[in-house]
Structure 1
Amino acid sequence: MKTSYIALSLVLAGCAWSPQEPGGAGDERPPSRPQKVSGGASPALLKSASQLFVTPAMDVPWEPLSFPGKRYVDFEPVQVAGRPALRVRADSSVSILRQRFDPALQSVGRVSFAWRVDGLPKDADLSVASQADSPVRVVLSFDGDRTKWSARNHRLSEMSRLLTGEELPYASLVYVWSAQHEPGTVVVNPRTDRIRKVVLDAGTSHIGQWRDHVRDVRADFRLAFGEEPGPLRLVALMTDTDNTESRLTAWYGALKLELASEVR
């Protein structure tokens, strides 16, 4: 089965890899083809995800994704501080849970979600490729006009096509908890400017607390990229501590993704 085009985007978003480009050298060898977690999602995880995460494509199951050579830690259904949640006990690992939209969702309006962490990756810095870990991420990937891309991004997209069978998404908007940057900061991914991170929580002041967020996706996309978002191809949750070889626990609570026509 052909791996989704989003796979390389997620590698670029958080994992310790810089692709080798024609005429230039990356700092590591490209990873093997990403794959679904062996055995797929457990019935308990699928049931919890369908109850916790509400999107316009409720018939599409969420699926975990792993990368060869990277430690994968399962998402586990739990109750914490009175809330149902999915827990990730990260340990120098990369854990991804995603839902893909085919056809893409037109005109996304708002996303709300909750997360909680018990620590931050040691010495993490989202602006440095070798330290770009985050305890929690919500990733939204969009289609768009690739003729606007730089030559470098076209080369990265071609690498994505070779590795995963499909092109890199036009743009990915990532909500993050940062160890270094202030809330409201937009951090451009050090490997490609087609991935931009909006910092919602920062530092240790809210460690151990549920953090609830409601975001206007179109406004945040305009803030990050300076243009209107195209159709939405994917939403994903991602906890990664592989770059910094850190251990921590993260929880994801309820998530709701709405179309613009549904927002009142």
Structure 2
Amino acid sequence: MKTRSVTDSVVQCIPALLLMSLAVWPLGPALAVADAAGALPEGWREVRFSGQTHYRQVEGCWRGTSDNAASGLVLESRVNVSQTPWLVWSWRASTLPAWPSISERSKDGDDFLARVYVIHKGWLPWQTRAINYVWSREARVGEHWPNPFADQAHMVVVQGRTGAGEWQHFARDVRADFLRYHGIEVERVDAVAIMTDTDNTASRAEACYRLPVFQVRR
């Protein structure tokens, strides 16, 4: 029997949006799944936490369908945000799901129709920081809060309940956001990810993503 290490215990305490960046660590609870014959975007891989959100390419976007599940797609790639600070992406959902009346600021309600997040790795796992841009079912655009599982990640609302059925386009100055929400100046980020998850609320949701990319200006 393998003895649990201190590293394992620490990793178990970090929420899914940080674990995506730590999937290369062998002892974490997340299961990293390699691209299967082009089934995922080139260079991306799936990371599963609870069940499986199914991602497939349809009509020029990547659709994530989650039924009481949480898994995401992550691209581990170091980006110099001094040169290309703007993260741009789009998403769309045809309908809004019927969510239970549980606050998404709580652990039991920490599910989102769509998430895009960017990760800056520290030297140690607990030094990692993440910004999680979300489609909120209850908060207004611009509201933000620390993730209920660990404040190394910060939730930032970029869309509220409106806009279902229409493509929504976003551009964020990631370098400025890390300074605003984490109080740190970063020169690089190490990963981006997308996830539609419903495991905490035992719900079903679906959203389609045009994958995030970094560029010089919005």
Pick the TM interval, shorter chain: 0.7 to 0.9
The one-letter amino acid of 1:42's match is A
TM-aligned CA deviation for residue 36 of structure 1: 2.1
Whether 1:75 aligns to 2:55 is yes
Query: SS of the residue aligned with 2:16?
Result: helix
Match of 1:122 among 82, 88, 100: 100
The one-letter amino acid of 1:89's match is T
Match of 1:41 among 17, 23, 35: 35
> Take 2:196 and 2:146, find their aligned partners in 1: how far apart are those partners?
18
User: Aligned residue for 1:90?
Assistant: 66
Q: Tell me the number of residue pairs that the alignment of Structure 1 and Structure 2 aligns.
A: 199
TM-aligned CA deviation for residue 253 of structure 1: 1.6
The one-letter amino acid of 1:99's match is L
CA contact (8 A) 1:8 1:168 kept: no
CA RMSD of aligned residues (A): 2.8
TM-aligned CA deviation for residue 221 of structure 1: 1.9
Whether 1:62 aligns to 2:62 is no
Identity percentage of aligned residues = 26
Match of 1:221 among 178, 181, 186: 178
TM-aligned CA deviation for residue 229 of structure 1: 2.6
TM-score, normalising length: structure 1: 0.67
1:195-219 deviations in Å (ceiling 9; x for gaps): 001100012x211211111111122
CA contact (8 A) 2:118 2:192 kept: yes
> Take 1:238 and 1:41, find their aligned partners in 2: how far apart are those partners?
16
> Take 1:126 and 1:139, find their aligned partners in 2: how far apart are those partners?
16
Taking the TM superposition and a 5 Å limit, the aligned residue runs for 1:20-31 are: none
Match of 2:16 among 11, 14, 29: 11
TM-aligned CA deviation for residue 6 of structure 1: 8.7
TM-aligned CA deviation for residue 254 of structure 1: 4.0
The one-letter amino acid of 1:132's match is D
Q: Which has the higher helix share?
A: 1
User: Aligned residue for 1:143?
Assistant: 121
CA contact (8 A) 2:17 2:117 kept: no
Long gaps (5+) in structure 2? 1-7, 20-26
CA contact (8 A) 2:90 2:211 kept: yes
TM-aligned CA deviation for residue 10 of structure 1: 4.7
Q: Which has the higher strand share?
A: 2
TM-aligned CA deviation for residue 222 of structure 1: 2.2
Distance 1:237 1:126, change over 3 A: same
> Take 1:88 and 1:178, find their aligned partners in 2: how far apart are those partners?
16
User: Aligned residue for 1:212?
Assistant: 169
The one-letter amino acid of 2:75's match is Q
1:169-225 deviations in Å (ceiling 9; x for gaps): 52101100111111011121122221001100012x211211111111122222212
Match of 1:106 among 80, 85, 109: 80
Query: SS of the residue aligned with 2:54?
Result: coil
1:83-141 deviations in Å (ceiling 9; x for gaps): x111112100112100113xx33335011000112224433533111111001111111
User: Aligned residue for 1:248?
Assistant: 205
> Take 2:29 and 2:63, find their aligned partners in 1: how far apart are those partners?
26
Taking the TM superposition and a 5 Å limit, the aligned residue runs for 1:165-204 are: 167-203=125-161
Long gaps (5+) in structure 1? 15-30, 51-60, 147-156, 158-166
> Take 2:129 and 2:28, find their aligned partners in 1: how far apart are those partners?
23
> Take 1:228 and 1:32, find their aligned partners in 2: how far apart are those partners?
28
